[in-house]
Amino acid sequence: MKSLGNIRRSFAPWADPDSKPFISFRNITKKFGDFTAVDNLTLDIYHREFFALLGASGCGKSTLLRMLAGFERPTSGEIILDGQDIAGIPPYRRPVNMMFQSYALFPHMTVESNIGFGLRQDGMPKAEIAERVKQMLKLVKLEQFAKRKPQQLSGGQRQRVALARSLAKRPKVLLLDEPLGALDKKLREETQFELMDLQQELGLTFVVVTHDQEEAMTMADRIAVMSHGKVIQVATPAEIYEAPNSRFVADFIGDVNILEGKVKAAGNGRVEIAGEDFTVRALGDTQLAMGASAGFAIRPEKLKISRTAPADATINASEGEIWDIAYLGDMTVFHVRLPSGKVVKTSMLNAQREVENPIGYDEKVWVSFAETGGVVLKD
């Protein structure tokens, strides 16, 4: 399994200008009456990629998936799958299969015949179907439940049946619509890793729709953050988290502090933003106009708090006062009130069980961060 892990780390076809996308959405628009669900969207997904469409409900991510499956027709634009425009192909002739949020198991069939349904439609010989169904049951560890009806299964088992059924035909692309939404937290985390392993093992392209950012971060090679029918940013989980391209993405993924200010200086890859509490000196886009308002997005764990001012004068620092403390076990979150009244969040990993003289409520502290700690966001 070690080599797979290495492949995974070196897997980045999107960065290679020579690689051809496996799925291409080109200028896709989908309207329902006056409502625009997907707005002139262009997106490439590569072979063997685990791709996540992430967004709040109503952002168009499910519509996009349903267009790929063939349940909705784009109002305009084209969808290319493996070099072929699939816009006019009905769902039952597309080499993609979908796992539904509600699982959509056939209630009148046993687990076995549910999994074999797609194979029967293809007219596969009975013996082969039985063989393949057995394989799939083994894959999802449900061998002893073959003769049961879906109503006789727990939520987690149903989810596995749905997965086995959508994989049985060995589709080129597996679409997953909120695949783990109905499971409880523990089971969900387990299943996330199982799905990742499965995708590696089968070498398939997975496109998953989710509103759960943690789920997307855990599983996906790349994430497309969507809002109002548009893709705001497409990048790896780490890029999305550490280098969001907009306030929306910074705010949507994880916790963030945005320090507002006006551009004071820009040049040589450095930007200075004058704010009320900080004069932020950071690395960033030098195309910013002087005096334009800008924000500096920094994650709570990149902010440091200390009782004394940092010795290095080049480090960004401000005084503040501890406002709230939340102890979460693995880490502690401090809310620090800055002189302007703005409250920033900082978090500290509890690497040791015992702390000498811990920082407490109402203490005066210094908040500081490195120039590489966050990103500059234009308005």
Q: Which is nearer to other proteins, 116 or 295 (CB)?
A: 116
Whichever of 165 and 299 has its CB closer to other proteins, that residue is: 165
Distance in angstroms (rounded) separating the CA atoms of residues 301 and 279: 20
| x-or-dash string of contact with other proteins, 167-206, rule CB under 8 A | --x-------------------------------------
Binding-site member from 24, 62, 97, 368 for other proteins (CB under 8 A): 97
Residue with tokens 């499956």: 69
- C-alpha distance from residue 132 to each of 19, 76, 120, 165, 170 (Å): 33, 39, 11, 11, 10
Q: Is 118 in the site for other proteins (CB under 8 A)?
A: yes
Does position 361 bind other proteins by CB under 8 A? no
228 scored as a contact of other proteins (CB under 8 A): no
Q: Are strands 316-327 and 331-337 parallel, antiparallel or unpaired?
A: antiparallel
> Exposed e or buried b for every residue in 31-51, given b needs 16+ CB within 10 A?
eeeeebbbeebebbbbbbbbb
Tell me whether residue 62 or residue 316 sits nearer to other proteins (CB atom): 62
Q: H helices within 140-270, ranges in order?
A: 155-167, 185-202, 213-219, 237-242, 247-252
Dump the DSSP string for 41-81: EEEEE-TT-EEEEE--TTSSHHHHHHHHHTSS--SEEEEEE
Contacts to other proteins from residues 141-170, by CB under 8 A: 145, 148-149, 151-154, 156-157, 165-166, 169
Residue count (the chain): 379
Stretch that binds other proteins, among 9-17, 89-97, 302-310, 317-325 (CB under 8 A): 89-97
* Amino acid making up residue 245: N
Q: Which residues lie across from 319 on neighbouring strands?
A: 366
Tell me which residues in 120-139 interact with other proteins (CB under 8 A).
121-122
Q: Measured from the CB atom, is 107 or 291 closer to other proteins?
A: 107
**By CB under 8 A, which span of 102-110, 261-269, 295-303, 321-329 interacts with other proteins?**
102-110
Residues that bind other proteins (CB under 8 A): 69-71, 90-94, 96-98, 100-102, 104-108, 117-118, 121-122, 145, 148-149, 151-154, 156-157, 165-166, 169
